Structure 1
Amino acid sequence: MTTRQTRLPARRTVLALLTALGSLAGAALAGAAPAGAAAAAVDIAPGVVYETFDFQAARGPVRAHVLTVDLRRPGVRLDLLYPGAVAARSTVSRLADGQGAVAGVNGDFFNITETQHPGVEATGASVGPAVASGRTLKGAVPDGQRFGPALPPGTSTRDVFGVGVDRRARLDSLALDGSVTTAAGRVPLGGLNQYALPVGSVGAFTADWGNASRVRATCGTDTERAAPCSADTHEVTIRQGRVVTTDPRPGGGPIAPGTTVLVGREAGAQWLRELAVGDAVRVHHRLVASRSRIPYRFAVGGYPVLSDGEPLPGLDDRTAAVRSAVGLASGGRRVLLLSLDGSPEYRAGLTIAELADVLRRLGADDAFSLDGGGSSTLVARDPGAGTVTVRNHPAGGAERPVPNGIGVFSGP
């Protein structure tokens, strides 16, 4: 492996960060970086640099692993890492190697457990919207159904970090716009490949969903994840624009390409019960961005913590944890992927407020929190290697399977 010392501008950034973050712990850091605080930077690929640095935060020492990705470089791009299905999980290293990424970090929060619903299995599906290689995979669950820490005021499960076809990274909000149309009328589509549907809605599941049971989609309410599963459900399978089967309870197993399964709860279930085998049905869906008219090539869920260089109001400044995040700089042309080390000596972690400040001091104008804790994983290849290596120490002692991540790709 070949390494080089960090370029002077980057070195100054790290030194400034190390000095300034001393205030988080209530004392300055002796005016300079402690010995061994900043590691040599490594060129993973043209336009992709990996480095680590240590600093003292309010609750103890922290080690950060950072990938700097220059989207201005030809051939450098970001895309969604995922295991080929929404309701499936794999480790970041397997996902990166399977898709040929040179580096990557874990992505969105996800449906990790179902202790409140006996007999219902967790799907492993992510919370927010997801777009992979320009194709919409899923929409966002209701805010009250999300897993993860409390959302900052003014944010929602629809928030995404993404990259448009213009190769610029940005933060946005993606809402599902869809409908189900029959001879009897039309209803709005309440979900797409989601582990939770809004109360009273109809949701669509496609081959992108995977093998997991669709029962979980009818559990909980828009405001209470632990609420009981609905007793009023119905499912309809559509193939070539016609109803082919109906069932009073959501099923599971793979969905064939070109087939759509509609799941209804409460009022949505009542509407679906009016359909019979052979009826014509048209299903339409797309994700609509609230801030940009640029189509997204890639998008992943999480929540914003920094906007135009300012932390969002109401960020948690009490709960520290191992975290992953992404920062945007240079008008969305430069991306910082960060994951904290979860080894015992660094596990004190950062609060969300501290995380936003770290990314701001690293030069980010906007920043976005990803899943953390045992999910936080950053991988990167050694120069010339064909596979990635896990660079941080996951807090659980080994990589946790996750539903998606952010992959860094370099090449034609």
Structure 2
Amino acid sequence: MKAKKLWITFVVSSVIASSFNYSYAAVLHEINQTQQVTNGATHISKEILTSEGWQDLNILRIDLSNPNVELKPITTQVLGERDNILNMATQHGAVAAVNADYFDMSSKTPAFGPVVSDGTIDQAYNNDYNTLGPAKYMGTLLVGEDGTASMDYYSVKMWVEIDGQKAFDLSSYNRIPSSVRIPFIIDRSYYTNNQALITKYQSSVGLYTILVEDDEVTYVSSLNEVVEVPKNGYAIMVSGDKFSTYGPYLTEGAEINIAQVVSLNNAVVEQIENLQMAVGGGGLILKNGAAYQGEAHKVSASSKEPRTIVANTYKENEILLITIDGRLSNTLGATHQDMITILQNLGAKDAMYLDGGGSTTLVARNEGETTLTIQNRPSGTVQRNVANGIGVFTTNATGEVANLTLEPSSERTFVGESITFNLKATDKNGNPVQLNQKEVSLSIAGVTGDFSGFKFSPKTTGNGLVVATVGDVSATAEIKVTQPKGLMIEPATLQLDENATKQVQVYGVDSEGYKIPITTGQITWKSKNSKVSAAGTTIAATNKAIDQLEASYQGATGKVNVVVGPSVVALESFEESLGKWAAGGSTVEGKVEASKEVKYHGNQSIKMTYTFNKDSNKQVAYTVFDKPIVLTEDAKSLNMWILANGQGDTLKVQVEDAKGKVHYLTLADSLNHTGWKYMSAALPNDIAMPAKATKLYVYSANGSKEKRTSAIYMDHVSMTRGDRNAENSSARSDYQFDSHYKPTLQAATGNQYSVKVLGPTSISGMVHSDETLAKMSKKVNTGASMIVQASKNNLPLSLSPKVATYNNTFGQATQGALDVIFVGTDNGGIRETNGSQWAQLKQSLQASTGKHIVLVMSKNPTTQFSDAREGKALHDYLAEYKKTTGKNVFVVTTGSTSKEVRIEDGIRYIRLNGLATSTGQVGEGEYLLFKVVGDDIYYTFESML
């Protein structure tokens, strides 16, 4: 068969380039990563936080004028079979790829549009006999030999010519048509022989097979005869009932030519004999940079879906292959109108859909790597098997090393803790070069240590510069070697079954708060109660116990609390024992009864109904348990399920210890929830055990302005086992490792100054005398240059001279070299509260001239943002800001009944509980004190009284 002629036809479309304003979510924050796949092909990853949520884009930017790169279709080796893009790209030797054409998921059929490679059609339907493609406004991507890419509704036609004259039409090439009564062609690309087709049609019309080599008919089979397809030719398949029509043209020795035409609007205006590639797709999106106004095949145009798109740009010979993820948590997808805006922002000129939804997949090798990696997140969590794709190929064989990249497994380590380096090499075209370790020379300056292959074990502290050299090409990487100041064990509290083991992770923490995993062989352990043992990172126990283990490493220590046996033990579900009603004050009425209709566990709960009559004095309603609830020696907290209706009263439990001392433990400062809620009160460290819970009571400290009746239900009381004398396991105390923390701070003198930060001081159910308010005001004011109220819940303290208060909006205050920035997060994060604060925060940080940044918000980004991804993005932004500016960054939040300090990547997250203590004792309330001394800053916690 002679070279196929492809008449690629164009007409000028009457596209009206009107200007439309499509609404699209505001961009709040963007995370971009760019890496070279090969010379001429770049992979760009964009994680975009918008006012609506996260938009995830992966873009292959291809320069088709670069001789090192080209596009080709990639398909499965068996016609009609499907495979995932990663497998297809790997089998074809592509360096990157995206999925391409649409296909029928319900049957084993090829893709809808044509597949053209290196100037020949690999697969195509004749669109005169097939209703797909342009008839359904499904476009085709064409790439000419000169690298020019176009997208439009191209149709394919094909026929057999005898002596230069058209003899008859063909219905398809390497595609099984819906009707075989029009002849079709198969070649060796997908068929070794015709067996599968004969099997399919022999019981109906049957098939004749005409073999063609070098444009000459070499064999005409009998009906349903199984024959091999020529290696350098093709076979024309003719149905048995139509052979009399077409057979006379196809006698042995006849010379024939296959004509194939790709046309636009049925008009031939230009002929291109060598087409680099073509592949089918979907509807047009853009034409000349404007929204396409004609008919277009769009899937779920108005809903946000995963999308795959091909586009060209105003830069000559540049093409974009784009995927947008969707249908997953924390990733939006895109509507058709979203796509228009996104593509225009990317500088696209013309654009067309490829198959999206669950098919959307982009694979590419990472810079310097030989294997391909899935770069996006397919919506089905795994790749879908698809019909074909667009592959990106390098045209050059791998050359000599031209560039090196040296990546340490960690930028920080301790003396004796090794770092492993990954060295990647590429040639002048960015193609990976395999290295022999013997070719590589490694050295280090700034610290001393030993190399073992690509692993370095430091012997001294300091800043190290590692140099890797291959021939005359070098790469460097910086590391920092320190000594641990303390150990952190995760989890901080471990629950073990009896006769069981579990793993923990031990980290060393340096003076800047950076965590580094510790080699297990260098850790020694000590047991407090000799009930639990440990070796390496494995904790083991035999019998039910409460214990605390202390790990030691290079003089640093850390502790883990271990509970062997159940961590939570059920105590009472009020199936038989109930309670009696009691009241504090004559204006309180009520009753206690069993409730079988409303219950959390078992057959019934206790319902306490109470009425607070109009009274300005404190009013209290009690349930006195018929049988006190016993808390054993190993109890750490008392828990129960409470159903409320947002009445706002304070809820406490009365506990009497073994010495007869009564403790009043707070379950809720304010019953502001509706429905069932699990509530817990920590037992004081000094409580004498065993103890017993005797009463549950609600009260309104300020009485009631009018008569109101409320009710609570209580059920399923339990206790949490643990060491009461240990640090609160749910609250981190990283300040113990922090060089900026001091147990006490002297008053500022000279040019020094102090800033005091208060947690919540107005606590529901807690009433203070004027004398107490005055004492707190005096204590806070003394020595303070500025006072920051980090909560909206504040007592009417007399504060001076400079006061700044959090009110869930953006704000700023400055004291010397300390900048305070307020960011509202009450709704669960910045975006949910007011997304414009992202820009305000960045602008303020970039404009800050201060050495110290105190960021005040109500939610901790690392643990409390409802969108954990937004929280991580904010943390990463702050960590990079600290790294590049050298500034100290503190993030102060409020909440809970205990303070906490978490240090992550050098960012100090400090939670203040203010007067919200577990015991309700105002004397246990604390504020945060910053003291600035020159360029240094220190902090501590001081009592409010």
Does the alignment reach a TM-score above 0.5? Answer: yes
Query: How far apart, CA to CA, are the structure 2 residues paired with 1:215 and 1:351?
Result: 45
- Match of 1:286, as an amino acid? Q
Query: How far apart, CA to CA, are the structure 1 residues paired with 2:174 and 2:244?
Result: 20
CA root-mean-square deviation:
3.9
- Match of 1:178, as an amino acid? W
Query: How far apart, CA to CA, are the structure 1 residues paired with 2:315 and 2:160?
Result: 35
Query: How far apart, CA to CA, are the structure 1 residues paired with 2:369 and 2:338?
Result: 34
Cα pair distance change 1:236/1:42, threshold 3 Å: same
Per chain length, whose mean CA-contact separation is higher, i.e. which structure has more relative contact order (CA < 8 Å, sep 6+)?
1
Aligned residue for 1:349? 333
- In the TM superposition, what whole-angstrom CA distance separates every residue of 1:220-259 from its partner, at most 9, and x where no partner exists? xxxxxxxxxx95564333244144314369x8x9734245
- Match of 1:293, as an amino acid? Q
- In the TM superposition, what whole-angstrom CA distance separates every residue of 1:370-412 from its partner, at most 9, and x where no partner exists? 1112221101111111111000111222122323211122342
Aligned residue for 2:324? 340
Q: Normalization by structure 1: what TM-score?
A: 0.73
Residues 285-364 of structure 1 mapped to structure 2, 5 A cutoff: 285-290=259-264, 292-294=270-272, 295-303=274-282, 304-313=284-293, 314-315=295-296, 316=298, 317-330=301-314, 332-342=316-326, 344-346=328-330, 348-364=332-348
Given that 1:323 and 1:349 are in contact with CA atoms closer than 8 Å, whether structure 2 keeps it comes out as yes
> Greater CA deviation, 161-170 or 344-353?
344-353
- Match of 1:113, as an amino acid? S
Residues 134-283 of structure 1 mapped to structure 2, 5 A cutoff: 134-140=119-125, 142=127, 155-156=137-138, 159-172=139-152, 173-179=154-160, 181=162, 186-197=167-178, 200-210=181-191, 213-214=196-197, 232=205, 234-240=207-213, 241-247=217-223, 255-264=229-238, 268=242, 271-272=245-246, 278=252, 280=254, 282-283=256-257
Residues 95-110 of structure 1 mapped to structure 2, 5 A cutoff: 95-110=88-103
Aligned residue for 1:388? 372
Given that 2:180 and 2:238 are in contact with CA atoms closer than 8 Å, whether structure 1 keeps it comes out as no
Cα pair distance change 1:246/1:342, threshold 3 Å: farther
Aligned residue for 2:106? 113
Secondary structure class of the residue paired with 1:263: strand
Cα pair distance change 1:146/1:58, threshold 3 Å: farther
Given that 2:208 and 2:220 are in contact with CA atoms closer than 8 Å, whether structure 1 keeps it comes out as no
Query: How far apart, CA to CA, are the structure 1 residues paired with 2:67 and 2:310?
Result: 21
> Greater CA deviation, 105-114 or 269-278?
269-278
- Match of 1:244, as an amino acid? V
| Unpaired runs of at least 5, structure 1 | 1-19, 115-121, 219-229
Cα pair distance change 1:145/1:397, threshold 3 Å: farther
Cα pair distance change 1:255/1:248, threshold 3 Å: closer
- Match of 2:137, as an amino acid? T
- Match of 1:285, as an amino acid? A
Aligned residue for 2:850? none
What is the aligned-residue identity percentage? 24
Query: How far apart, CA to CA, are the structure 1 residues paired with 2:355 and 2:91?
Result: 21
Structure whose CA Rg is larger: 2
Query: How far apart, CA to CA, are the structure 2 residues paired with 1:140 and 1:217?
Result: 19
- In the TM superposition, what whole-angstrom CA distance separates every residue of 1:92-145 from its partner, at most 9, and x where no partner exists? 22222233322111111124323xxxxxxx14x221111123332122364996
Secondary structure class of the residue paired with 1:365: strand
Deviation at 1:335, TM superposition (A): 1.0
Cα pair distance change 1:395/1:282, threshold 3 Å: same
Given that 1:197 and 1:217 are in contact with CA atoms closer than 8 Å, whether structure 2 keeps it comes out as no
Deviation at 1:208, TM superposition (A): 2.4
- Match of 2:220, as an amino acid? V
Cα pair distance change 1:353/1:210, threshold 3 Å: farther
Deviation at 1:68, TM superposition (A): 1.1
- Match of 1:189, as an amino acid? L
Given that 1:237 and 1:259 are in contact with CA atoms closer than 8 Å, whether structure 2 keeps it comes out as no
Cα pair distance change 1:40/1:348, threshold 3 Å: closer
Which of 258, 263, 272 is matched with 1:284 structurally?
258
Deviation at 1:75, TM superposition (A): 1.0
Aligned residue for 2:113? 128
- Match of 1:155, as an amino acid? Y
Given that 1:181 and 1:282 are in contact with CA atoms closer than 8 Å, whether structure 2 keeps it comes out as yes
Given that 2:22 and 2:337 are in contact with CA atoms closer than 8 Å, whether structure 1 keeps it comes out as no
- In the TM superposition, what whole-angstrom CA distance separates every residue of 1:340-362 from its partner, at most 9, and x where no partner exists? 22462156522344334422321
Query: How far apart, CA to CA, are the structure 2 residues paired with 1:153 and 1:330?
Result: 29
Q: Normalization by structure 2: what TM-score?
A: 0.34
